[in-house]
Chains A and B, each alone.
Chain A
């Protein structure tokens, strides 16, 4: 007993002593090599004006199960570097050019760093990674200047905005992983589907990662912050009698594994995914519809995440080679700052500093972004009017400087902006029940036999890559087509009766639809998801994710159009499903 106490105390004390005596070996190697690299110079070419090193030092453990059996399990330790060298100056450097990301530089096999804490070997790797980044920057810069010579451009924005140097060195989180516990949890959750023979396929993936984000820049920023996320992803799919494929899914996340819901709650959620899907296989196909739609519970938060949140960052048009086509779509909010985007009784705030909401942990909490900038609370929409946007250190029209929202890798030498905890507030609200009555009344006034309630969107999507490709191709050229499919859609009749329907998609639903919000509920719902750059934030679509939460009330939106999906699906399997027991 005594011994155990000793063991519990000792590592922490030792770590503290060591931290005082000798700074972190990774930070030390980063700082030292950073200093030396300032003198990099190719004959007659630019010296670096800015260098940043980021290292993600972590471990990721995966367990995947189906119907109570383990399909895959694995564990991987990693230390991934991201080195950027900028040449030129803040006004004009090698970024923001179509070719910026496509000049590989010399090959030195330094895409991953040693996981052992060897100062010398880390420096050796940083040395080579910096050399490669510098040369690729010099090459990109000369190509960019050549392209600019032949372009008649109006006044160019700066390429890199200012930021205050930050010093934030926190203790890394201890790694605790009991593979047996996670295996048995994945098995138990996936075994829920043994009760649902009508569901063709199901998987439960448990992904736990611990990571420490290291960041050092030539401006003096030094960061070490613990990160990591644990995700349980439950996916299921099946066929209807006519062969239409249907699916359902849920992602349950927590920044710390201990803050995940209890097993009983997890099993309830798995069962709910199964039950809704089983009901979908029996549901009738929905018909074309134009009218009010109630986005209830998490469906509203999903709607705000995708239609508002994902578009609160403006992409910047890169310098392109003259005469070459550039597939670039400006952001939907381009030039709309100061205009109304929501009803005047709604506000939107992003607050990454908040860790809890009504006792529930918030997934979108973070301390520092990918550019070493600490985020502050930001009012994005005030009384319905767009006030500001999510920004990185890449200046976009009408702004300068970062507000600490560089959360994902981006394009053309930049990071992409994203939100943390997005709060949608309604100053006018009614109870959920009244909201539902409003829907029924509006439908009755317009002589509609029923109204529609959406309770779940397919966001992030659990579609297969093949299906995503089809959806993206089908949506080419239209904004509305880029919205996820509604997963759980109910007809609600005048007498309050509800009927689940399947196979519908939105025909028009974009940022403009948000101005048609006519009412909101007094209760809000939180929705966590892992954001990344792939379409529909498809589950598992990228290895680099930003943890986010949206908190929003249910909303009634007028004039939403839905239509049936094209009936291009195959017939159901000829061979009936095998027995489950």
Chain B
């Protein structure tokens, strides 16, 4: 930022419009504004701060020039404004802040808040309004750092006070934009912490454990399947033994007839088992479709509602479908010729029923009605079938029991035969029958186990896949956390290195400035700005000496620090100082005025005549581009800006 021109209008001591132009050439970069106490130096300094930032004053009313207020008629509106033209990175801007007040008989009523505008001047000379002016100003010279570039001489020794390390740190951070790195590091650290909290919430995926469980179950299935094969082998072997025994009993004279009976009984048992299996299948079909038998009430209600609507003419008669149904019910064709159920005419009429595609509610209602008409008959038939099937099942069960009992009796006769061979065969038969039955039971139980395990395996596989997906998500989350934390840590390193570099450079620059001030050169040999941002000066005995500083010495030290900071920051910003040398001795002033023009591209000094005298002014003279005198009129209480030279 380089200041070009300041125009004040009815602002404090300045009645009407007053203007001053700042020097901005490379060689003559100093603007000096002389003024006695109360002439308006601080007002002009305030004008710059107020125009850009709305800062520097508590009372809006005190900004308006009193003479302008006096001259205005009662009821009139008086305006005070400050316009500041400046250049930044090749672009020219005009900032204007205006305040209005109404003059009442006894008071000045400030009209709302000051208005602010920022205009950009195009190359053509046309001005265009800047949108988001505060954002633009913030980027040019943030309010946080303005007090280090536009600084008040009264407060200039703040940095050198014993407990000022916080302020020094704040100044370095703001001026050198270290807070950006700090912010970046903070946000990345927060992002990593947030991700970490989310990561913990997700269930710990125990993929290995689930995989082990799956493997174990599969192994168990394999084992049981192996056992099934063995059992089938055992069953086959047992069957062979039983067949051998049966053959032997058939061959023996004494047992042939009985064995023949047993063979017949076993065939009958087989037949009954087969019939029972078929019956169970039929029962299953009817039972699982038997829900139609539960909703007779609903069907009756629905068909009744539909009939009611049809009788009231609310549903079109659907002549076609209804007619077909009527014809099929009556077994009479439309031409009055009778036909038989199942003949060609019957089938033809049935086919016609299925051709229609319902497209309207009426069609849907009628089709539903037609389908529901069959339901009661279907339900009745189903019940009848089920009842019949259950009766048949009972018969088959009884039959089975009876045949089984008879077969058991035949086997018993073999076991108690007076012939040893037959007895032996009978007992073997009994053992093998028992074994066979055991094997069948085991076969059945194992089949159940396999089915259960298969379902469990399906479930474990699902859970494992879910866990694997969560693990993958976890892995990605972990990677994100790593990246965020690494970036935060890297930024922290950059910050530390950069901050340390800046601190050392400021320290070195401030040391250089102090040396150039040739200030108690034999007394104070070293300046330090330590890692905690404590500004200290050491005497020739190596002892800290700042606590013993006078106010003026603190001012010099602060100035040295500020100038070092401004130089190191390489910011394009002017140094604007309001009575900076008030408390300095002439020796200090002379040294500082020789050094200070080098510290910034543009320097503006608001000074009393006492501050800049003789040698001090002579030091500055080669670098002064423009000089003003503030002429205060006792009569009007107003100041006029007069260019000198």
Are A and B co-members of a single complex? no
Residues of A at the B interface (CB closer than 8 Å) are none
Residues of B at the A interface (CB closer than 8 Å) are none
